[in-house]
Amino acid sequence: MNFKAKTKKEKVTMIVIAACVFLLVLISIFAGVLFPGSTFEAIVNNSVGKFFNIVDFFTNNYVKILESLSVIFFIWLITLLMTFIISLLMKKNSRSETVGTILRSMIRYLAILVALFLILSAWGVETRTLLAGAGILGLALSFGAQSLIEDVISGLFLIFEKQFQIGDVIQIGDFRGTVLEIGIRVTKFEDINGDIKIVNNSDIRGAINTSADLSAAICDISISYSADLVKVEKIIKDNLSDIKSRIPDIIEGPHYRGVQELGSSSVVIRIYSKSHEKKKYQVVRDLNREMKLLFDKNGIEIPFPQVVVHQEKPKAE
């Protein structure tokens, strides 16, 4: 139950308890300032004051704190500078953007690791101890975080083998989406509904890069068996150039490919063209529209399923 749903009495009780705890913390922190040299100060400092004696903590360790803050600031500044340089060096295309994303991720992780080492050194932890701890941590990760290591290695292979890049449309099993970001550990995709799918790099197997080449945009349309096929073919071929001019997303075609199927109630003919993957479905919609308008203009019937019922006449008595 959240705070708004509680009764007035419960709210008052919670506020009083929180205020008391807050007041106790303040007294513990500032006991030496408010009650210097008193018995109350000694009692507080020897009990709860041990946990909240922030004044003494800052007084005794202000040099280490300032050194730690300086390390954080300079590491942040260097990281910012390096990411800016990478952004300038990378050309504005999918390949460079992908490599730049990986490099920026690696710099961030490396910066955090270096900052952690320097801060621990500032607080008196020996370098040999840090290196030994890093070795133990690496050993533990090699056994307990094998999936993480596998994700990182798979991410590097995705980049350097140029399997796909940012902006490509990828099919993985039943999922189809556009690559938004390729990271060291995960890759982000956006599907046709705008939903973001995050996939571990090691789980990307059997991916189909549909953006590697032009994609087929196919329009299958039916005509009745009673239609003059030769005449229909001539009408289609004579109008293909006009159709292309009205659909600028078509890169190759459209071409008339002939009879695709002899259906149960119609003859299916095929119009074939090529476009960029992201435009493919819209090109199919536009082709369907143009063919419908062309058939209507020339009186070509597009059949639809019909049911013929034969009713038996009753026998005369």
Nearest-10 Cα torsion for 233, 239, 245, 247: -50
- Per mean pLDDT, which range of 49-53, 104-108, 168-172 is the poorest? 49-53
Q: Give the tens place of pLDDT for each residue, 258-275.
A: 999 898 888 999 999 998
Q: Report whether 283 contacts 248 (CB < 8 A).
A: no
CATH code reported for the domain at 215-297: 3.30.70.100
Exposed e or buried b per residue across 104-122, where buried means at least 16 C-beta atoms within 10 angstroms of its C-beta? bbebeeebeeebebbbbeb
For residues 188 and 314, which has the higher predicted lDDT (pLDDT)?
A: 188
Identify the H or E element spanning 253: strand 252-262
Residue 231 has φ and ψ, to the nearest 5°, of -65, -40
Domain boundaries, the chain: 8-52, 56-144, 155-209, 215-297
Specify the pLDDT at position 78.
Answer: 87
Q: Each residue of 230-246: pLDDT tens digit?
A: 999 999 999 998 999 99
Confidence check: pLDDT of 54 > 70: no
pLDDT digits (tens, 9 = 90+) for 13-52: 888 888 887 777 676 666 666 666 666 666 666 655 555 5
Question: Percent of the chain beyond pLDDT 90?
Answer: 12
Q: Are strands 267-275 and 175-182 parallel, antiparallel or unpaired?
A: unpaired
- Tell me the whole-structure pTM to 2 decimals: 0.51
Please tell me which residue, 175 or 103, carries the higher pLDDT value.
175
- Average the pLDDT over each of 72-81, 175-184, 228-237, 243-252 and give the range with the smallest value: 175-184
pLDDT of residue 271: 92
Fold adopted by 155-209: SH3 type barrels. (2.30.30)
The confidence score (pLDDT) of residue 273 equals 92
Cis? peptide before 248, omega within 30° of 0: no
Q: Does residue 16 or residue 139 have the better pLDDT?
A: 16
pLDDT attached to residue 172: 84
Q: Give the pLDDT band (50/70/90) at residue 206.
A: confident
Q: Fold match between 155-209 and 215-297?
A: no
Closest CA to 101 of 162, 190, 197, 165: 165
Distance between CA atoms of 52 and 84, rounded to whole angstroms? 41
The DSSP annotation for 163-206 comes to S--TT-EEEETTEEEEEEEE-SSEEEEE-TTS-EEEEEGGG--S
Task: Please compute the mean of the pLDDT values over residues 154-169 and round it to a whole number.
Answer: 78
